A and B are shown apart, each in its own frame.
Chain A
Amino acid sequence: MQPMIEEIRNVLRDHSGLGSAVDGLADHADLYSAGMTSHASVNVMLGLENQFDIEFPDHLLKRSSFESMAAIRGAIESLAVDLPAT
């Protein structure tokens, strides 16, 4: 699975509370600094779990996993790598 940044951006547009401001963000831009609240980040996680049909394990449920679109892609890719082993 190679989640695309654009798919992540779509989830963020709907759930991060940043709206269309995510369109102008670079892959590594800090979403929290851009105004995403902790509460909204949970909605983003739920949206991502739904979009990619995954469940984030507890060790990924921390601020840094969701601080940028690149970090989110890393988190999802780490799941794809983990999956065959489980």
Chain B
Amino acid sequence: MSMVELDTFLDDVRAVARDVAAPAAVAVDAEARFPHEAIDALRECGALGAFVPASHGGAGLPLEVIGQACFELARGCSAVGMVFAMHQIQVASLVGFGVGHAFFDAYLRDLVSEQRLIASVTSEVGVGGDLRRTIAPLSQVDGAMHLEKQAPTVSYGVHADDLLITARRSAEADEADQVLELARSDQSTLEQTSSWDPLGMRGTCSPGFKLIAEIAPDQVVPVAFAEIAPRSMVPCSHLFWGHVWLGIANEAFERAAGFVRGQARSRPGWTPPTAQPLSQLASTLQAMRATLAAATAEYQAMLLEGASTDAATTFAYAIRINSVKVTMSERAAEVCFGALRITGMAGYKNDTPFSIGRQLRDSLSAALMIGNERILATNATLLLVQKST
């Protein structure tokens, strides 16, 4: 692993996106297989530890740079961008709430030196997609913590080195009283319980699993998940995912723009009718960029040294960050669909330089990842008492 530096990190990531992720993207999609080559290339340049602070051997790069990396990777291959984003969401939770505790201090050092990939097991059969409830309890047996959980969706679970899992604190605790714990792959088994042949984001390899894990008590993050979710996991998810969706939309836009330029070159002096819908997509993309940049800067300010994520626990912030998710996910699919309308048959076919099918299918997952209907329902409830946003 080479040393990660701020000034070369994004160049390295762009090179991985262009030279490794993009060339494999069609095969990753067609075969619904994990993008090993790109993740290995990211390991080579130390990218998996980019958000770990320097005190723990990492690069300690700012959140906005991690977001930019998600964007760059997703331009080449949506699945690579999403795997990288999901990993960094888990890293952020451990950096925010594990540092200062012996197990997690040592773990973060290992993550950097071994470039370990973390997957998350937050979904569960029976809670209806609610991140903030878990049925499966941690149970203590002879000093070890035991967990069995039925998860309907675990992205790249079998390809990860470690799993970050939500659980009910104990068999006596309420379903909302959750904890987060880390299990190394040699401490857990994943038995696949459903198939994986989805419309898009096929390289994330996200079928259902029955998880069984056996860990030591100090592998439980010492802060309640009720604190971790609003302060770290929810904002990081929406911001990093948002960068992935912007990357997908950007790629679709660039293909459509190339198509329109080709038409224009064929008859100089004539503005092709596709140019105007392209200009509409450009303004949508610009609005997406502005939304994401403002939201990233707001959260980055909370993470700065000496600052606090207390502001992230307010209703006002929950409404804003939820709105970012809804905006980015809906607009990304709009841009991809618009790009298809512009490119016509060239975009509809899967084997032209202007193919939009993969980006369109991938973008449609955005509205489903924590369903926008659920998010809007949450905001609707919060707005019953919230006075300003």
Contact = CB atoms under 8 A, between A and B. Distances in A.
B174 A33 contact: yes
Nearest to B174: A35
B313 A64 contact: yes
A34 B382 CA distance: 21
A35 B381 contact: no
Contact of A58 (B226, B381, B388): B388
Contact of B385 (A49, A59, A64): A49
B132 interface: yes
Interface of A: 32-39, 42, 45-46, 49, 55-59, 61-64
Given A38-B132, A39-B381, A42-B385, A58 B176 contact: no
Given A37-B176, A46-B385, A61 B316 contact: yes
Nearest to B389: A58
Interface string B41-56: 0000000000000000
A58 B315 CA distance: 8
Interface string B308-322: 001001111000000
Interface in B205-246: 226, 230
Interface residues of B, number: 21
Contacts, number: 51
A58 B387 contact: yes
B389 to A, nearest CB: 9
B385 A56 contact: yes
Closest 7 CB pairs of A and B: A61-B315, A35-B174, A33-B177, A62-B314, A62-B313, A45-B385, A42-B381
Nearest to B385: A45
Given A42-B384, A46-B384, A55-B387, A35 B313 contact: no
Nearest to B312: A62
Contacts of B187: none
Contacts of A46: 384-385
Interface of B: 132, 173-177, 226, 230, 310, 313-316, 378, 381-382, 384-388
A35 B172 CA distance: 12
A32 B314 contact: no
Contacts of A57: 387
28 contacts: A32-B177, A32-B226, A33-B176, A35-B176, A36-B176, A37-B132, A37-B176, A38-B132, A38-B378, A38-B381, A42-B381, A42-B385, A45-B385, A46-B385, A49-B385, A56-B385, A58-B314, A58-B316, A58-B388, A59-B314, A61-B314, A61-B315, A61-B316, A61-B386, A62-B310, A62-B314, A62-B315, A64-B313
Given A38-B132, A58-B315, A62-B314, A32 B176 contact: yes
B385 A34 contact: no
Nearest to A67: B226
Contacts of A45: 385
A55 B384 CA distance: 12
Contacts of A58: 314-316, 386-388
A36 B132 CA distance: 11
Nearest to A30: B177
B230 to A, nearest CB: 7
A39 B310 CA distance: 20
Contacts of A61: 314-316, 382, 385-386
A72 B263 CA distance: 65
Which of B173, B177, B315 has the most chain A CB atoms inside 10 A of its CB? B315
Contacts of B175: 35
